[in-house]
Amino acid sequence: MTTTEVFLHVDGTDRPGADGASFAVVDPFSGETVATVAEATPGDVDDAVAAARRAYDDQRWRGQAPRDRARVLNRAAGLLAARIDDLAELETRQIGRPLREMRAQLRRLPEWLEYFGAVAQTAEGTVPDFGHGHLNVVRRVPLGVAGLITPWNHPLLITMKKLSVALAAGNSVVLKPSELAPVVPGMLVTLLEEAGVPAGVVDVVHGFGRTTGRALSEHRGLAKVDVTGGTETGRAIAAHAGRSLIPVTAELGGKAPVIVFDDVDLDVAVSGSLFAAFVATGQTCVQGSRLLVAEAVHDRFVAALVARTDALRLGDPMQAGTQVGPLVSEAQRDKTARAVERAVEQGATVLAGGAVPTAPELSRGWFYPPTILGGVTSSMDIWTEEVFGPVTLVRSFTDDADAVRLANDAQFGLAASVWTADTARALRVSQQLEIGIVWVNDHHRIDPSSPWGGFKDSGLGSENGLDAFHAYTRAQSVVVNTQPPGPDWFGTTSDLRYS
C-alpha cells in the first residue's frame, strides 16, 4: 500500500511543521499507514493566518469580480468531478466508510462550487429609502480571514460546504482538517489553486484539536470561525470567539428522531430507518438514533428491522459487497461498545448486534455490528447521549402529540425524519419539532441550496444556501448626501433639523 506524505500548505507552498513533527493516518480496516502528516505548531498557525491576511489585504482574490471568482470555482468543479473515484478511494482508506457510499457522496460535491459561484454572481445589494436628499447603498463585503475546522466523518463534504461559500464570498481561509482524515481535504486545496485560486488564499494546517485546533480557533487574526464537531468543543470555541467579537458558525451534535406513523408503507419505513441508522456506520450527526414507531405497527416494524439489520454485510470497505465498514478508530469503537454496555446495565434490551464481532475476517478492523436497543426509557443515558456509531433504539408512541413530545425530548435539535402517507400530518408534526432539518419520507438528504443547521445544543447558524453566503459577508452601508450643503451646525443658534 502506498503511503502519502502530507505537508502544511502556507502561502501556496507545501512545507513541514516548524519543529518537524508528524503523525500517521491509519486505515481503520487494515491498520496500515495511509499517510504521514506534518503537524503544525502555533507558530505555523500564525504563519498561515498571516499569509491568508496578506492575500486578503492585497485583494488578489476578493478584488476579482464575482463573475471571475465564479469562473474559477466552476473550473475547480470540473477538475473535482474528473477525480472523484480516486478521491473516494482515499476517503475510504482514511475513515473506513464503504467505497460505494463514498463515491455516491463525493459525486455531489462539485455542485457546491457551482452553486456558490452562481450565488456570488447574482448577489445584490439594497437601496433603502433613507429619506429626501440622501441615497443609501448597502452592499455585502467579505469578512476577512476565516478559520475552518472540519471533522473526520465526512472529510471532503464538510470541507466543501464551508470552503465553497467562504471563497465565493471573497474571503481568505485557513483550514484545519481532522487529524484522522486530513489527506483529501488538503488535496482539494491543491485542486483549487490549479483551477486559479491564487496562492495564499487557502492555507492548510494539520494537527490535533488541543494544540493546532485551539491555536487556530483562538487566533485574533480571524474574522470568522466555522466549526463542525462536538458540542462541548463548539461551546469552548464560541465562548472564546465571543470575547474577540468574532462570528461563529457551529454544526454540533445530534440525536435525530425518526418518527414512523402507522399509515406509512412498512417496508418503505423499515428501509428508510435502516439507512438513517446505519449509513456511514452511524458516524454522522444526523444519524437516525431514536426510532419512534406508532404502537399499532411497532412489533411488526421491529421484527422487520431486526431481520434487515442482522442481514447487513460487514467487511472490507473497498469491496463492492460491503454494506457496513469499520468505525474510524479503536477509541470510537470502544466508545460505542461502552454506550451499549451502559444501556444494558440501565435496563435496555439488545434486539440486534450488541457485541464486538469475533469473525476472523473482521479481526483486523475496528468493527461494531449495527445494533438495535429496545426497552429504552427517557432516564437512560442512551436516550440523549450521542454515540456516533451504529447504534439506534426503538420506542413506541401513542399519538401525534406523544411522538412530538418524545422527538423534542433531547438537548439536541439538528435533524429528524417523519414517515407518513398523510401530508397534512407530516406538515403539522414537522412544524412542532424543535429541530432545524426535517425530512418527510426520506432521511439524510442534502443540497447546496438548502440551509443545514440545528436548534438548541446542535449549533449556531447554518451551512448551505443564501444564509451561509450572508454569514460569510457583512453589510456596508454607504449614505450619500445628494443635496446642496446644509446649514452650518455650529455657526448658528437657531433650531436645526437633524435628518
Supply the residues annotated as catalytic.
251
> In this structure, which amino acid lies at residue 181?
A
Strand 459-460 versus strand 248-251 pairing type: antiparallel
Instruction: Please list, in sequence order, all residues whose beta carbon lies within 8 angstroms of the beta carbon of residue 285, skipping any fewer than 6 positions away.
Output: 153, 228, 251, 252, 253, 254, 386, 414, 415, 458
- Alpha carbon 375 to its chain centroid, in Å, reads 32
CB neighbour class for 42 (10 Å; exposed up to 12, middle 13-18, buried from 19): middle
User: What is the CA 447 to chain-centroid distance, rounded?
Assistant: 12
What does DSSP assign to residue 180? Answer: T
Q: Is 269 left (phi over 0), alpha (psi -120 to 50) or beta?
A: alpha
User: Residue 172 is placed in which grid cell?
Assistant: 481568505
Contact 438, 256 (CB under 8 A): no
> At CB < 8 A and 24+ separation, what contacts does 236-242 make?
237/149, 238/460, 241/217
Burial of residue 445, with CB atoms counted within 10 A of its CB: 0-12 exposed, 13-18 middle, 19 or more buried:
exposed
- In angstroms, the CA 461 to CA 3 distance is 38
Terminal-to-terminal C-alpha distance of the chain = 72
Cell digits of residue 483: 443635496
Question: In angstroms, what CA-CA distances link 482 with 84, 128, 130, 414, 486?
Answer: 55, 15, 11, 49, 11
Contact 293, 301 (CB under 8 A): yes
Inter-residue contact 472 to 169 (CB < 8 Å): yes
CB contact at 8 A, 380 and 347: yes
Closest CA to 404 of 426, 423, 386, 422: 426
Close Cβ partners of 416 (under 8 Å, ≥ 6 residues apart): 256, 257, 258, 259, 407, 430, 433, 435, 437, 438, 439
Angle between helices 110-122 and 155-168 (to 10 degrees): 20
Torsion 282-288-291-294 (CA) sign: negative
List, as own/partner pairs, every contact residues 127-133 make where C-beta atoms lie below 8 angstroms and the sequence separation is at least 24, other chains included: 130/479, 131/499, 133/481, 133/482, 133/483
Query: Hey, what amino acid is at 248?
Result: V
Residues 173, 11: Cα–Cα separation, whole Å: 11
SS3 495: coil
